[in-house]
Amino acid sequence: MAAIILNNINKVYGDSFHAIHDLSFDIKDGEFMVFVGPSGCGKSTALRMVAGLESITSGELIIGGRVVNKVDPKDRDIAMVFQSYALYPHKTVRENIAFPLQMAKMDKAEINKRVEDAAAILELTSNLDRKPGNLSGGQRQRVAMGRAIVRKPSAFLMDEPLSNLDAKLRVQMRAEIAGIQRRLGVTTIYVTHDQVEAMTMGDRVAVMKAGVLQQVDTPQSLYNRPDNVFVAAFIGSPSMNLYEAVLDGQTVTLGSNRIDLPEVLFENRPSLRGSSHRPVIVGIRPEHMDDATVRPSSAEISAPVTLVEALGAESMVHLSIDAPWVDAGDPDAIADIGDQKSAVARFSPKSGVRAGDTARVAVDAEELHFFDPDTRTSLW
């Protein structure tokens, strides 16, 4: 087991493409750290540098107290699990899992013991003599995990290991991988573009954008106290709704709506006190809006309803808010949500609003987020 420390790591591809900028943080011994961010943000590059599959342009990488910048991948005492399982089709599950130990010329009895132990942990015991072609996607991914586990490495590095699985299996496997990691207590770095995967699996999550670390924190802190607009919009689904607004004393003006802010908000964000005609970016999470006729609130706005998606337990209500919408800079979110200019609210299923109505929307004003429009960082 080992702590992993990144000190001002940079990666420049070729002569000019600066893919990673001054990446620094510590991963504690036994910690499950997730790297998350949109496509191209550099999360795989960062992981591959830790693995030794990519050279480090500058900075220092320390694994288990040893600077390993120039150490060969095979001598870093780490095991990688990839998106493609990279299993040998003609070998049995047992032979696939045993392979790295055979390469290390380990004693046969010890290999058998380690393979049996890993198979038991991964519930693969009854499949040990089958070939990968006869296994389900989830079972194949577990064999790939088995190959990593048997080596008893000081760290696991996983690059989108679940992206070839269907949605249901992903949910099941993410719980399994997180459970196994916790049981084994092996320091793990896990790369994904999926914020839900990041939030549910990581002890801490590092959010990256365009090669720059935005914030590293526990999932709950990223949700409650995002450092900037990008993290605020990236974490949470559907995304936080972000609009340009004006703060004046205890009131924020959002287009044609005015919201009175409670005292507790100023206790949490003292820098907002005493503002006069101050331009701000306001963030409202979908879960902090509801139908005011079902759940009355002291803070209320009204907005035309453009679409209602009834999901059973809740309804996603798209609202046309007449304030300038703020682009959070996450290219993936735009593709996901489509009509970005509508705000999305999670209404109770008891709401009877329909497209074309003007909804009275209760806002949980205590939970509003505020950002500086120039720096796009949180105002506290």
- Residues of this chain that interact with ligand ATP (CB under 6 A) are 13-14, 17, 19, 37, 39-45, 193
Q: How far is the CB of 165 from ligand ATP (least distance, A)?
A: 16
Strands across the sheet containing 257-260: 257-260, 251-254, 241-248, 278-284, 369-371
Q: How far is the CB of 191 from ligand ATP (least distance, A)?
A: 7
If the CB atoms of residues 37 and 219 are measured against ligand ATP, the closer one turns out to be 37
Q: How far is the CB of 170 from ligand ATP (least distance, A)?
A: 16
Q: How far is the CB of 20 from ligand ATP (least distance, A)?
A: 8
CA triplet 88, 91, 95: central angle to 5 degrees?
105
Q: Which residue is nearest to ligand ATP (CB)?
A: 44
Residue pair 36/206 in contact (Cβ under 8 Å)? The answer is: yes
If the CB atoms of residues 39 and 58 are measured against ligand ATP, the closer one turns out to be 39
Residue whose C-alpha is closest to residue 343's, from 219, 257, 228, 260: 257
If the CB atoms of residues 64 and 329 are measured against ligand ATP, the closer one turns out to be 329
If the CB atoms of residues 237 and 306 are measured against ligand ATP, the closer one turns out to be 237
Token code pair at residue 337? 């949500």
If the CB atoms of residues 151 and 174 are measured against ligand ATP, the closer one turns out to be 174
Q: How far is the CB of 7 from ligand ATP (least distance, A)?
A: 19
Residue whose C-alpha is closest to residue 244's, from 144, 376, 359: 376
If the CB atoms of residues 192 and 315 are measured against ligand ATP, the closer one turns out to be 192
Q: How far is the CB of 16 from ligand ATP (least distance, A)?
A: 10
